[in-house]
Amino acid sequence: MSERSLVLLKPDALQRGLAGRVISRLEDRGLQIVGLKLMQMDMPTAQRHYAEHVEKPFFAGLASFMMSRPLIAMAVQGKNAVEVVRKTMGSTNPQNAEPGTIRGDMAVDIGRNLIHGSDSVESAERELAIFFAEDELLDYQREVEPWVTES
């Protein structure tokens, strides 16, 4: 079933020049980019995106990091997109991430783990609405799709 997921390439991914490699890995898995923007996160966006963490002691540091430099917000679409993104990213803590995953191959520190992906279809819907207006998400046919997934 085709679904959508939010992906954030965090400031460390851009500062390290890894954005293209990370995006390529997601596209290699058959995911289709349906929205993409370079942006600077502000506090209201951080509070909405990390709403469940606002009262936790680590929120201030997390928000400060996410607002420190530009990031890339991306909407991807594909069969089981949320699960595909999660498996491609690897464990939140790069020390536990499998080789072959983005975090397992490119990240070292849990606080600088390069990428965020929605953890459920419901979270994806909520998060996508934070970063994208409905008219910023495109629905288009890729001619390669029958070669990526069975219908």
Q: What are the residue numbers of the active site? A: 116
Closest CA to 66 of 121, 127, 14: 14
Distance CA 110, CA 96 (A): 10
Distance CA 98, CA 104 (A): 5
User: What is the rounded (10 degree) CA torsion for 94, 106, 88, 58?
Assistant: 40
C-alpha 98, offset from chain centre: 18
Give the burial class of 98: count Cβ atoms within 10 A of its Cβ; 0-12 exposed, 13-18 middle, 19 or more buried. Answer: exposed
Q: What are the distances in angstroms from CA 64 to CA 10, 56, 69, 73, 120? A: 12, 14, 9, 17, 25
